[in-house]
Amino acid sequence: MKLSRPVSWFLLAFGVWSWVIWITFVKNLVKDGSGLAFENGDPTAYFWVHLLLAVVSFVLGTVIGGIGLRGLRALSRTSRTS
């Protein structure tokens, strides 16, 4: 399957965006003072569920961004050989 340049850039941007957003979210989650993430210093179910969502998003962002990067590299190789 051959990806177009715009699609490859979109996938790469999505992967980067996913990392930026979820890193920010996890930092805020760990510093939570509202009582949602921690109760008496112990992590709550809210914390664990959102941490799991973040980890899954990191994995998906990495995979999707990697696909975009591979698409751009393949396009670069084909344009150099043509």
Question: Are 76 and 16 in contact, with CB atoms under 8 Å apart?
Answer: no
How confident is the model over 44-80, as pLDDT tens digits?
A: 999 999 999 999 999 999 999 999 999 999 998 887 7
Mean pLDDT of 23-31: 95
Predicted pLDDT at 48: 97
Predicted pLDDT at 77: 84
Q: For the chain, what is the domain count? A: 1
Is there a domain that residue 21 lies in?
yes
What are the Cα distances from residue 14, in Å, to 18, 38, 64, 68? 6, 30, 7, 9
Is there a domain that residue 82 lies in?
no
Predicted pLDDT at 9: 97
> The whole model's pTM is what?
0.83
CA 51 – CA 38 distance, rounded (Å): 13
Residue 40: which domain range? 3-77
Is there a domain that residue 31 lies in?
yes
